[in-house]
Amino acid sequence: MVGQIIGGNYGEILIRQKNGERIELGELLVADDILLQVVDLEYGSLMENRDLARMSGMQLEGYGATEIHEKEVRNFILVRAKPVFDLNKKGITKHLPEFFKILRRANAQDFDFLEKPENPMYLGKIRSGSKVLDVPVYLDGKKVLTHHILIPATTGRGKSNLVKVILWSLVNKDYAGILVLDAHNEYYSYKLNGKNYGLKEHPEAKGNVIYYSINPPLGERALKINIKLVRPWHLREIIEFTPAQEDALYLFYKEWGDEWIKMLFSNEPIKGVGETTRAVIQRKVKVALEIDMNDYGELYERGKIFSINEGESTIKDICTYLEEGKIVIVDTSSLSQNLEILISSMIMNEVFARYKRYKENGELDNKPVISVVIEEAPRVLGEGKSTIFGTIAREGRKFKIGIIAITQLSSVIPREILANLNTKIILGNEMSSERKAVISSAAQDLSKDDKMIASLDKGEAIVSSIFTKFAIPIQIERFEELVDKARKEKKPKTLKFFG
């Protein structure tokens, strides 16, 4: 026993901590088959404040400490806890545990009711305060990915680590294809203490994890995209055009199709577009795609991505890999933000178009869900942005397309979109305005969890989802440990010789 219920109400039960026990913020306790979570701690005393102050004064000012009679009875720690789950009914608690009930700490057996879903996606283990219980937490990947995931946290709390852990468990599953725009080149392969880490190290990475980079290591794919694949609506996501310029873009595309960018720079006149408008568009497109024209009037590439002659199948190839349930990591670390957004929107537009078609033809059921991991999500989901990502957040679920949005700033994502991101894996955050934005859009009532979220350490998280029965506190593993473990298991067994 760790304490006893001495009052409170449905939202907040008051518990007296037993002397010598140490109950933590976020800890899970059980009373009467009801799972409770500690939301606050304070001091309690049966003595008058004035007496306490006087006794402290005596001690501090050197008059000698006063012995308190039955100290452990008179002074105690008062624990505030909220009911989170009825272990007996396997549902939301609707009643209070018995008054004066003795509490115990939750243990692994209490969570026997958690089932391994059909398409398990591993997140971590159940955490009670800062103690980890040996209970793995899986969500149904297929469902969760189509209904979007938000990973909010301050910098350095373990967002990227969590995404790596999630992706690791998806490498050998074909129910999901994941596109990762890797702005820090930290997912595929990196070295730590002289050892190799990253998704490349997965025993089944070959053929399941695909890597594109503008500086590809030997044997990996080069990220080159032909300008023929660029459409006016892709450019709109990163360049501001006046309505007249926008009309002109569509006219070019209508007139010349795939060749529209090439023709834009030609002398070929087009009805309805003035010379000045054309010149402005030329300048903007040159900057955006990092292309230019030489003295002979020929286009050439200044940058490393957009190509005049190569890369005609890159976007298609990536979409096909995704459709086969693979993980595609695109190293965008040396690209400008605009180029990163442009490329991701080209890919996701193609994915969206394909899946829309599959749905119309009744073929969608056989396809894996496709999700895209995007860092600093407000860049594409923020107020006033009209991007393919917003469209996916709003209606992607009808087409089995989802987002994994990572952000330090949930508060600048419109509420309507936040509410659509149906699973939130909340890591630590010391900014109260950010906590508020996440709490107010969570699937469960987290109004009492503010302090808990503020105090979350690296890798500690709360999973609030329409697919979990309560907001589950978890401890996420360190990705490198996961890799080391897999390496150990993979080590070949010693051969036995007979005779």
> Using the rule CB under 5 A, is 160 a contact of Mg ion?
yes
Q: Which of ligand ATP, Mg ion, none binds 158 (CB below 5-8 Å, type-dependent)? A: ligand ATP
**Nearest to ligand ATP by Cβ — which residue?**
459
Q: Which of Mg ion, ligand ATP, none binds 236 (CB below 5-8 Å, type-dependent)? A: none
Distance, CA of 259 to chain centre? 38
Cβ closer to ligand ATP: 291 or 335? 335
Q: Which of ligand ATP, Mg ion, none binds 311 (CB below 5-8 Å, type-dependent)? A: none
Cβ closer to Mg ion: 143 or 159? 159
Rounded to a whole number of angstroms, the minimum distance from the CB of residue 474 to ligand ATP is 10
393 closest CA partner among 367, 407, 414: 414
Rounded to a whole number of angstroms, the minimum distance from the CB of residue 159 to Mg ion is 5
In the structure encoding, which two tokens stand for residue 105, read together?
A: 């700490």
Cβ closer to Mg ion: 427 or 483? 427
Rounded to a whole number of angstroms, the minimum distance from the CB of residue 183 to ligand ATP is 9
Cβ closer to ligand ATP: 197 or 253? 197
Cβ closer to ligand ATP: 178 or 285? 178
* CA distance linking residue 483 with residue 266, whole number of Å: 53
403 closest CA partner among 154, 176, 73, 124: 176
| Helix, strand, or coil (residue 93) | coil
Rounded to a whole number of angstroms, the minimum distance from the CB of residue 127 to ligand ATP is 11
* CA distance linking residue 443 with residue 427, whole number of Å: 16
The enclosing H or E element of 332 equals: none
Cβ closer to Mg ion: 163 or 413? 163
Residues near 321 by beta carbon (within 8 Å), at least 6 away in sequence: 177, 210, 328
388 closest CA partner among 342, 348, 361: 348
Rounded to a whole number of angstroms, the minimum distance from the CB of residue 162 to Mg ion is 9
Q: Which of Mg ion, ligand ATP, none binds 156 (CB below 5-8 Å, type-dependent)? A: ligand ATP
Q: Which of ligand ATP, Mg ion, none binds 153 (CB below 5-8 Å, type-dependent)? A: ligand ATP
Rounded to a whole number of angstroms, the minimum distance from the CB of residue 247 to ligand ATP is 40
- Residues 68 and 74 sit within 8 Å (Cβ to Cβ): yes
387 closest CA partner among 343, 321, 445: 343
Rounded to a whole number of angstroms, the minimum distance from the CB of residue 285 to ligand ATP is 32
Cβ closer to ligand ATP: 160 or 226? 160
Residue keyed to tokens 């026997």 = 112
Give me the helices (H) in 382-472, please.
Answer: 388-395, 415-420, 432-439, 450-454
Rounded to a whole number of angstroms, the minimum distance from the CB of residue 327 to ligand ATP is 18
Cβ closer to ligand ATP: 299 or 405? 405
* CA distance linking residue 144 with residue 133, whole number of Å: 23
Cβ closer to Mg ion: 146 or 160? 160
- Residues 167 and 179 sit within 8 Å (Cβ to Cβ): no
| Helix, strand, or coil (residue 18) | coil
Rounded to a whole number of angstroms, the minimum distance from the CB of residue 160 to Mg ion is 3
Within 294-323, the residues that bind Mg ion by CB under 5 A are none
Number of residues in contact with Mg ion under rule CB under 5 A:
2
User: What's 127's DSSP letter?
Assistant: E
> Using the rule CB under 5 A, is 332 a contact of Mg ion?
no
**Nearest to Mg ion by Cβ — which residue?**
160
Cβ closer to ligand ATP: 32 or 375? 375
Residue 140 bridge partners (DSSP): 120
Residue ranges in contact with ligand ATP by CB under 6 A: 153, 155-161, 458-459, 476-478
* CA distance linking residue 301 with residue 317, whole number of Å: 22
In the structure encoding, which two tokens stand for residue 77, read together?
A: 């720690």
Rounded to a whole number of angstroms, the minimum distance from the CB of residue 164 to Mg ion is 10
Give the DSSP per-residue string, 50-70. HHHHHHHHHHHTTS-PPPPTT
Q: Which stretch binds Mg ion (CB under 5 A): 79-87, 152-160, 215-223, 244-252?
A: 152-160
In the structure encoding, which two tokens stand for residue 188, read together?
A: 């595929």
Q: Which of ligand ATP, Mg ion, none binds 155 (CB below 5-8 Å, type-dependent)? A: ligand ATP
Binding residues for Mg ion, rule: CB under 5 A, are: 159-160
